[in-house]
Structure 1
Amino acid sequence: MSEPRAGYRRCTRCEKNRAERFFAPKGRVCSTCRKATRRAASHEARVTTTYGLEPGEYQALLDYQGGVCAICRQPRRYRLDVDHDHKTGLVRGLTCRLCNRRILPGAKDDPEVLRNAAAYLESPPAVQFLGPRFHVDNREAPDE
């Protein structure tokens, strides 16, 4: 590896050549890596104190879920919420903000409501009773 040019240092964590301004006077780790470490440590501490997850369990659970929301199975660019039952405190899994803050509260955490919603989407009563009808923007029946 080549030596960084004048005014630059190599970060020992990310191994990038960064300008001196990214380092503390005698520091060997750039400010970006220091902040990332601090953020991760504060998140882990909050998850431990709030939800009782041991260090590393959040990441282990995220890996177990395949890195996606436990409900919609979509990957997210932000950290997933730790979902828990508000009555018992039981940690249920990691969910995206939409599922944790809209879908579950909208269904009042009732599995039957969510099962009914799935049945409704799979077999809409209007189609069963009236036959296909389409919204003004979609008046043409889709090709089947």
Structure 2
Amino acid sequence: MSPPKKGYRKCSRCDRNRAERFYTPRGRICLDCRRARQRKSARDARVHRTYGLSVDDYAQIFKFQDGRCAICRETRRTNLAVDHCHKTNAVRGLLCARCNSTLLARGARDRVDVLRRAADYLEKYPAWEALGEPRYTPETGRNDG
């Protein structure tokens, strides 16, 4: 490939030729790649702080569920949400946003098989199977009711 034209640089992460304005003065990674890395890092830190799951723990549960929501079995373009029990703080598994927030309202859409899997999910947590042990969210001092 030819070198980038004047006023452009090649990003060392995405290999795209981008205008100089997308870089810090000595930067080698474009602004889009840098922001994506910061978003991922911030999310990983939040998941660890909130649920006590390391990046490896999340990846292990994700792989155990074949990259799919534990209830509807669909894949998503965005990250799956970490679901936990609000009474015991037990991490149950990974769910898509629809199943995590609106399962009974819209998510099941009159699909009996989905509701059966939801019941199975609440009785047998995939996160515990994937990690081989129960995992609980750290106590944060908040009052959950």
- TM-score computed with the length of structure 2 as normaliser: 0.68
**Runs in 1 of length 4+ with deviation above 4 angstroms?**
none
Counterpart residue number, 1:6 = 6
Counterpart residue number, 1:129 = none
Which amino acid is the alignment partner of residue 4 of structure 2? P
- Count residues with an aligned counterpart: 110
Structure with the bigger RCO (C-alpha within 8 Å, sep 6+) is 2
Counterpart residue number, 1:31 = 31
Which amino acid is the alignment partner of residue 5 of structure 1? K
Does 1:83 pair with 2:71?
no
Counterpart residue number, 1:101 = 101
- Alignment root-mean-square deviation, CA: 2.2
Which amino acid is the alignment partner of residue 69 of structure 1? C
Counterpart residue number, 2:139 = none
Counterpart residue number, 1:16 = 16
CA distance in 2, matches of 1:84, 1:45: 17
Which amino acid is the alignment partner of residue 40 of structure 1? K
Unaligned stretches of 5+ residues in structure 2 = 107-114, 120-145
Which amino acid is the alignment partner of residue 63 of structure 1? K
Which amino acid is the alignment partner of residue 88 of structure 1? T
Counterpart residue number, 2:59 = 59
Cα deviation for residue 15 of structure 1 reads 1.4
CA distance in 2, matches of 1:55, 1:14: 22
CA distance in 1, matches of 2:31, 2:11: 9
Cα deviation for residue 104 of structure 1 reads 6.5
Moved more, 35-44 or 59-68: 59-68
Cα deviation for residue 64 of structure 1 reads 2.2
Cα deviation for residue 19 of structure 1 reads 1.2
Cα deviation for residue 5 of structure 1 reads 0.8
SS at match of 1:5: coil
Cα 1:69/1:15, change in 2 over 3 Å = same
Per-residue Cα deviation, 1:106-128 (whole angstroms, up to 9, x for no partner): 9xxxxxxx44x99xxxxxxxxxx
Cα deviation for residue 56 of structure 1 reads 2.7
CA distance in 2, matches of 1:80, 1:72: 12
Moved more, 76-85 or 96-105: 96-105
Q: Percent identity?
A: 54
Cα deviation for residue 105 of structure 1 reads 8.9
